[in-house]
Amino acid sequence: MFAQDKQSLERIRSQIVTFIKDYVHSSGHKKAVVGLSGGVDSSLSYFLTCDALGAKNTIGVIMPSRLSNKESRENAEELIKLKKGIKQYYDISSIVEKFGSVLDESEKNKRSRIRIGNIQARTRMIILYDVASREGGLVIGTGNKTELLTGYFTLYGDGGCSIEPLGDLYKTEVWELAQIVGVPKKIISRKPTAELWENQTDETELGIKYRTLDEILWYYIERNNNPDEIVKFGYEREIVEKVVALVKRTKFKRHTPPSPVLRRYNYQELV
């Protein structure tokens, strides 16, 4: 379903690189800013942006918090060295802790952890946009299609960016393309985690393996199969219904905030 030959992956790589280059340049910019977590998604986005604009025009920003794993920081550092790129480093621990104290966030329940995770993501977004403003660049997103469809991102946090180069790639395809572009194997094989709290992993939080999630999404989104049809392909009904519900429930995160239509216009094509 997802396994593609090298030629197809090279074509996808070329399309994304061209997309980044054309969008950044057409907006009047020459530089881009990518937040590096040490995971496969941000690594792939960084590599493709370097290919599109050059490593000297691609700023890799490392923003650890007290929850960040040492391995994550080392992976991010290694990527920048591999590409001979530009690095900027900001420890956000004190900022996140200050937010927590101001909001009196002392509970240890799941909601509390998610809220702190969102604060981390939005703090990073603020830093990325400030760096972009200072350097005259655009913020490049690192979200993949699986995350976007299931709402597994923080609105105006890691979801805050100018473009999403990986936005039409399922997680499974991200792993495949990452091998082609030369992302280190230790990053590709690492368990995906947003490091929202200690020992947190994406698949545990989602309650489903990425590969199974991708397959169900593929049938539902790409093939337009309904849940009953997907179940017949061998998937548990409970899992299928959970995935479909996630897609529907998080629709609001994938659209520009709506406004009421108060008057009628004859809009002209602007772009």
Range of the domain at 161: 6-192
Tell me the catalytic residues.
Answer: 41, 147
pLDDT at 124 over 50: yes
Question: Does residue 145 form part of some domain?
Answer: yes
Give the CB-side neighbour count of residue 225, counting CA atoms within 13 A: 18
Instruction: Tell me the average pLDDT of the chain.
Output: 92
Buried b / exposed e across 97-119, counting CB within 10 Å, b at 16+? eebeeeeebeeeeeeebebbbbb
Query: What pLDDT shows up at residue 271?
Result: 46
Average pLDDT over residues 40-55: 98
Question: Are residues 239 and 187 both part of a single domain?
Answer: no
Query: What pLDDT shows up at residue 204?
Result: 86
Question: Are residues 227 and 162 both part of a single domain?
Answer: no
**Domains held by the chain: number:** 2
pLDDT > 70: what percent of the chain?
93
Query: What pLDDT shows up at residue 262?
Result: 85
Confidence of residue 65 (pLDDT cuts 50, 70, 90): very high
Question: Does residue 262 form part of some domain?
Answer: no
Question: Are residues 11 and 77 both part of a single domain?
Answer: yes
Domain boundary among the residues 192, 221, 237 is at 192
